Amino acid sequence: MTVAIGIVGCAGRMGRMVIQEILATEGCVVAGGTEAPGGPIVSDLGSLVGTDPLGVTVGDDPLALFSCSDAVIDFTVPAATRVHAEAAEKTGTAYVVGTTGLTPEDQAVIASAAHKAPVVQAPNFSVGVNLLFALTKQVAEKLGTDYDIEVLEMHHRHKVDAPSGTALGIGQAAAAGRDVSLDDVARFAREGQTGPREIGEIGFATLRGGGVIGDHTVMFSNEAERLELTHKASSRGIFAGGAVRAAAWLQGKDPGLYGMSDVLGLD
């Protein structure tokens, strides 16, 4: 079976990576791509990635793209993702969401779409990072609150949300391991006279600079030892590859909200 995959935000950095990954994946073809009205005018999507013409031009109508695709991949921004989720709900098209920095209201729109369409949403589509999530949950469960948990992340200077979606995913995995809500135990900033660290707190530290694609470390510390789990991305291709894998996996799936742990069989 051939899977026709559409790409919203196709002229962006991740959009171009996704096009390249689709072209390199057997059984997948590029269905089309969109940019916001007034975006780049491109005669053919192949020109975005330096290949021969694909016979597909960039459009600006997400609903039309969803209607002609078996699955659509979205690494855009929250305002655009709301529009794309509504298109997925209207068409029932499989939808892969990698956008971060979403509000609870944004998430509600995605959840609504999942009643009508199969959706994979993940803060990170790397296989290695999703294994990190699974390991973090396991370690947090085994060590308990005798160990303090801190999540450290660094990204390039252009990233606009902090902490990263991946860092929050690590924190959520740690909280799940302890059977608590991250909202109840997260500590996102420390400055001045903060007092001693609270037992059970999950702390976050954010670094920004240069062209770092994504470095994430979760630290478990007590008075006698420290255990660190680290993932460092050296290519955005790992995110595109995971997203294309998710798009193919969604074919034939019932409507619902899935994660990369489902795609990879980690649960």
| CATH (domain of 197) | 3.30.360.10
Both 64 and 160 in one domain: the answer is no
Both 189 and 214 in one domain: the answer is yes
Cβ atoms of 139 and 170 within 8 Å: the answer is no
Both 107 and 151 in one domain: the answer is no
Assess whether pLDDT exceeds 70 at residue 40: no
User: In which domain, by residue range, is 182 found?
Assistant: 127-233
Sheet containing 71-74: give its strands across: 58-59, 28-34, 3-8, 71-74, 94-97, 118-121, 256-258
Structure token pair of residue 252: 């034939």
Return the active site residues.
155, 159
At 23, which CATH number?
3.40.50.720
Both 104 and 78 in one domain: the answer is yes
Angle at CA 199, nearest 5°, toward 198 and 202? 80
Both 18 and 102 in one domain: the answer is yes
Identify the pLDDT of residue 247: 98
- Mean pLDDT within 107-131: 95
Both 91 and 167 in one domain: the answer is no
Both 8 and 121 in one domain: the answer is yes
* Count of the separate structural domains present in the chain: 2
Nearest to 248 by CA among 41, 70, 88: 70
What band does 187 get if pLDDT is binned at 50, 70 and 90? very high
> Residue 261 and residue 238: Cα distance in Å, rounded?
16
Both 18 and 101 in one domain: the answer is yes
> Residue 227 and residue 247: Cα distance in Å, rounded?
35
Both 180 and 242 in one domain: the answer is no
Both 197 and 162 in one domain: the answer is yes
The answer to which of 21-30, 53-62, 63-72 has the lowest mean pLDDT is 53-62
pTM of the predicted structure, to 2 decimals: 0.83
Identify the pLDDT of residue 28: 97
Assess whether pLDDT exceeds 90 at residue 223: yes
Both 111 and 158 in one domain: the answer is no
In tens, the pLDDT along 80-96 reads 999 999 999 999 999 99
Both 215 and 242 in one domain: the answer is no
